[in-house]
Amino acid sequence: MCGRYTLFGNWKSALPPDIIFDELIEFQDIVDNYNVTPLHTMPILKAVNHDIHATAMRWGFVPAWSKESAPQGMINARSETVSEKPSFRHAFKQRRCLIPMNGFYEWASSPYGKKQPVYCSSSQGELLFAAGIWEHWSSPDKSISFDSFAIITVPANSVMRAFHERMPAFINKDSFQSWLFDSEHAAGLLLPRPNSDCRAIYVGTGVNNARMNNPELILECLPIIKSNEIIPSKPPSGGINRRNSNDNSEQGALF
């Protein structure tokens, strides 16, 4: 699953040179976020005609047909059902996107209730691009409107499987065009990231607090759970996180 991620450093320089920037006022300067939570507005890449545009959207997908704006929306969509579920299928067909991130968090769990954050990133230190879908929502009276996105998840690779059964699907730069513009072949790109390019380290519990945001959150620290005690977390029914992101009493339950 994916319920927290990071975006920091000069991530704009890692984007393809032909990206067109739209309405990224809040990201004119580099804004480091080491604890991206649901409802945060973050950069995404989307297709506009024949071009790739960078814009900002809210994390927490709300279907266009929803009569009310969900407090949080749906932050993840499963690759196995994203093309079929009524909430996602039209967006998957017409409005796929990419979410830049340096890495994401999962939580190592034990049978005794202990939990510890694990930070997952590219072993090469590269910027990652998670597969996603987006939608535009307007209230019935048109007084409120916004764009929102969800991250698509796939079964975890063997590196991540110890901590969680799922992980974000990542799209390589040479497949951007196919993912964003080729609906027929898009589903075939939703695969786990290779083990060789996946790094997972134990970090401190500061990320549990949604108000914490500093580089120390991704510093490696000693594990508090023995390797033979770790049990992989399972996503809630349907793979959708509906918990309030401000409830930090048991962050691991988000996943």
Structural domains of the chain, ranges and CATH numbers in brackets: 5-254 (3.90.1680.10)
More confident residue, 8 or 143: 8
Q: What DSSP string runs through 110-149?
A: -TTS-EEEEEEE-TT-PPEEEEEEEEEEE-TTSS-EEEEE
Beta strand pairing status for 96-101 and 76-78? Answer: unpaired
In eight-state DSSP terms, residue 174 is: G
| Average pLDDT, rounded, for the chain | 85
Cβ atoms of 152 and 132 within 8 Å: the answer is yes
Q: H or E element: which one contains 180? A: helix 176-181
- Rounded to two decimals, what is the model's pTM? 0.87
More confident residue, 64 or 217: 217
Cβ atoms of 42 and 26 within 8 Å: the answer is no
Which of these ranges, 30-34, 53-57, 76-80, 242-246, has the smallest mean pLDDT? 242-246
Cβ atoms of 107 and 252 within 8 Å: the answer is yes
